[in-house]
Amino acid sequence: MRTQIAIIGSGPSGLLLGQLLTEAGIDNVILDRVGKDYILGRVRAGVLEEGTVGLLDEARSAFRLHAEGLPHDGFSLAFDGRDHRIDLYELTGGKRVTVYGQTEVTRDLMITREASGALTVYDAANATPHDFDSSSPYVTYEKDGVTHRIDCDFIAGCDGFHGASRKAVPEKVIRTFEKVYPFGWLGLLADVAPVNHELIYANHPRGFALCSMRSATRSRYYIQCSLDEKVEDWSDDRFWDELRRRLPTHHAQALKTAPSFEKSIAPLRSFVAEPMRFDRLFLVGDAAHIVPPTGAKGLNLAASDVHYLFEGLREFYDARSSAGIDAYSQKALARVWKAVRFSWWMTTMMHRFPDTGDFDQKIQEAELDYLTHSRAASTALAENYVGLPF
């Protein structure tokens, strides 16, 4: 088989890139290690920047998002028994975010792709990029015991943090930067009205908590937990009790509960691989970088990578210029590092670290108090949260 762009990974990066390429008349094939239902069973991001929504519009995959997504003009920071609203809309001169689950973004992109007739191969085992330092790269994969080969012009590695693309790069040409945090997030999904109409990020001596949502009737809650916790040890009642303890009293009293239908623990990590291009192989999204979810940036960074790469590839095919793809790694990394910094800062300010003592707790509360009372500091938070331009 031959295509112009072989895309490894059918998460949001791979699907969005594929859809933009298809719209531009550039042939592409997507491979994924797992099946469609497995991909749609993952519960992940919930907050989309305006730039991400714009790209989904460009990919003609935002119809449901515009009907069902929840525009949010602000969120709350809770600490020291009170909470303070960050007015994103006012502080950024009219910008907001949209709360719409990654699962739904993925579903919408899959539907548009299927309608376009572009090929996706699910359950493709051992996808491997080959000869990407030559002018004739190719990808091999196995399906039903048969090895297949896709010849292509370029390979897009959109296969997440544990994927094969980054691993195919020789160690001597890649540099990685990593910070692993000594805690995780235990997340729960339940069909119950959210405790507040906007998100609440809570700093508490018992640990961080986040109240988020998927719709007016579906809530997504997280609590910081230690890395050796097991989901099985967390009954719904234990989760709700712990969440209540970490929220200011008025929210704790208003919290409505219902049986959960998803519960999982995610570790927190910051990770960046440099560069993001190796001749004819590009790393995109989580394949190149990971941020802790505190800043709601992972999916949005995947979208900005896709934007830079798509514009570069379109220029390559339309104008026979490689200027855009040559600038991909540098442009993407400049934005990535700013989001890595923001996510690290939010994480550091909001969580209880194993060595956080009463002094450190007071310093965090003083920082939050300053942040919420200084317009300059609130503006810096807001402009990062709604997303830096790309």
Site for ligand PHB, rule CB under 6 A: 45-47, 199, 210, 212, 220, 293-294, 296
The total of other beta-carbon atoms located within 10 Å of residue 374's CB is 12
Q: Is 212:76 a contact under the CB 8 Å cutoff?
A: no
Does residue 300 bind ligand RFL (CB under 6 A)?
yes
Strand partners, 128: 140
Task: Give the shortest CB-236-to-ligand RFL separation in angstroms.
Answer: 18
148 is catalytic: no
DSSP one-letter string for 11-43: SHHHHHHHHHHHHTT--EEEE-SS-HHHHHT--
What is the spatial distance between Cα 58 and Cα 346, in angstroms, rounded to a whole number?
31
What is the spatial distance between Cα 219 and Cα 212, in angstroms, rounded to a whole number?
6
72 is catalytic: yes
Helix axes 50-58, 102-116, angle to 10 degrees: 20
Which candidate in 138, 221, 222, 385 is catalytic? 385
**Of 225, 307, 286, 289, which is closest to residue 49 (Cα–Cα)?**
307
Nearer to ligand PHB, 98 or 329 (CB): 98
Which of ligand RFL, ligand PHB, none has residue 220 at its interface (CB below 5 to 8 Å by kind)? Answer: ligand PHB
Task: Give the shortest CB-279-to-ligand PHB separation in angstroms.
Answer: 35
DSSP one-letter string for 233-295: G--HHHHHHHHHHHS-HHHHHH-----EEEEEEEEEEEEEEE-SEETTEEE-GGGTEE--GGG
Task: Give the shortest CB-45-to-ligand PHB separation in angstroms.
Answer: 6
| Binder among 69, 101, 187, 324 for ligand RFL (CB under 6 A) | 187
Does residue 336 bind ligand RFL (CB under 6 A)?
no
Task: Give the shortest CB-114-to-ligand PHB separation in angstroms.
Answer: 26
Which of ligand PHB, ligand RFL, none has residue 9 at its interface (CB below 5 to 8 Å by kind)? Answer: ligand RFL
| Binder among 50, 83, 159, 198 for ligand RFL (CB under 6 A) | 159
292 is catalytic: no
Does residue 252 bind ligand RFL (CB under 6 A)?
no
- Extract the tokens encoding 183: 């805690």
Residue 298, judged by CB atoms within 10 A of its CB (0-12, 13-18, 19+), counts as buried
Which candidate in 72, 95, 251, 331 is catalytic? 72
Does residue 69 bind ligand RFL (CB under 6 A)?
no
Does residue 108 bind ligand RFL (CB under 6 A)?
no
Question: Closest residue to ligand PHB, Cβ-based?
Answer: 46
Residue 158, judged by CB atoms within 10 A of its CB (0-12, 13-18, 19+), counts as buried
Which of ligand PHB, ligand RFL, none has residue 159 at its interface (CB below 5 to 8 Å by kind)? Answer: ligand RFL
Question: Closest residue to ligand RFL, Cβ-based?
Answer: 11
Nearer to ligand RFL, 325 or 346 (CB): 346
Task: Give the shortest CB-224-to-ligand PHB separation in angstroms.
Answer: 12
What is the spatial distance between Cα 350 and Cα 369, in angstroms, rounded to a whole number?
12
Q: 97-99 and 70-72: which strand pairing?
A: antiparallel
Segment holding 79, helix H or strand E: strand 74-79
Task: Give the shortest CB-371-to-ligand PHB separation in angstroms.
Answer: 16
DSSP secondary-structure letter at 217?
T
Residues that bind ligand RFL (CB under 6 A): 8-14, 31-34, 39, 44-47, 102, 127, 158-160, 162-164, 185, 187, 266, 285-286, 293, 296-300, 302
Catalytic residues: 72, 201, 293, 297, 385
